[in-house]
Amino acid sequence: LKSNPSNNEEKEAQTQLTKSDELQRLHSQALSAYQQEDYKAAISLLDEILAVCVWDAELRELRAECYIKEGEPSKAISDLKAAAKLKNDNTEAFYKISRIYYQLGDHELSLSEVRECLKLDQDHKQCFSLYKQVKKLNKQIESAEQFIREGRYEDAIGKYESVMKTEPEVPIYSTRAKERICHCLSKNQQATEAIKLCTEVLQLEPTNVNALKDRAEAYLLEDMYEE
């Protein structure tokens, strides 16, 4: 304004000043809502600010935290991915993305994101510990699937039992392992065991198509046509 005081520019500058005051007010409210654990309100306020301050990595990380607390991890991922690009050497964002993918059962994407973290800092303790866990699990699942492709169902069952031991804390891996073991049992003509295990999976996921198909195959082996 001081360097070039013309009417148009003055109006524009006043508008921007008013807007920045408003955004500061919204920012304080968002932080306050976050501290009071009112994550929905915080998200709504951060939406307004980020519509203007698109490139603010910290605000995106804060909104990601709110999404995680609200049980919307996939929305958190897109904010964290933006934050990882906007801030140099953002190992924390890569670590969080990798953890979310891991909790969602996507071990391959989890592995790829945690590698990005280690590229930036190979001594990052959290990333290295997560990397070892995901890599081990990933290897066991790949190996089990290879056995299934080769028709080595007993070996595949053994591998999927190891998967359940490697990751007992995240339920999705046990469920997937049981689903694949049921498939192997059904293919291996072990109908009774297959029916039992597929039923277990279907109690957790009633619309699991693979478990329904494999249980149907097992019922056929037992001549239980109605079922």
List the CATH number of the domain containing 158: 1.25.40.10
Residue 6: what pLDDT?
A: 72
Residue 195 in domain: yes
Tell me the residue range of the domain where 202 lies: 151-226
Taking the C-alpha atoms of residue 92 and residue 74, their distance in angstroms, rounded to an integer, is 17
Successive 10-residue mean pLDDT values, the chain, 227 residues:
71 85 96 97 97 95 97 96 95 97 97 97 96 97 98 97 96 97 97 97 96 97 96
Residue 220: what pLDDT?
A: 97
Taking the C-alpha atoms of residue 177 and residue 183, their distance in angstroms, rounded to an integer, is 10
Residue 207: what pLDDT?
A: 96
Residue 167 in domain: yes
Residue 40 in domain: no
Residue 55 in domain: no
Taking the C-alpha atoms of residue 113 and residue 30, their distance in angstroms, rounded to an integer, is 29
For residue 167, which of 121, 202, 218, 132 has the smallest C-alpha distance? 132
Residue 97: what pLDDT?
A: 98
Residue 201: what pLDDT?
A: 97
Q: What is the pTM of this model?
A: 0.88
- In a 13 Å sphere around the CA of 205, the CA atoms on its Cβ side amount to 16
What's the structural domain count of the chain? 1
Residue 211 in domain: yes
For residue 58, which of 74, 80, 38 has the smallest C-alpha distance? 80
Residue 114 in domain: no
Residue 8: what pLDDT?
A: 74
Residue 164 in domain: yes
Exposure string of 60-72, with b = 16+ CB inside 10 Å and e = fewer, is bbbbbbbbbeeee
Residue 10: what pLDDT?
A: 79
Residue 207 in domain: yes
Taking the C-alpha atoms of residue 198 and residue 117, their distance in angstroms, rounded to an integer, is 38
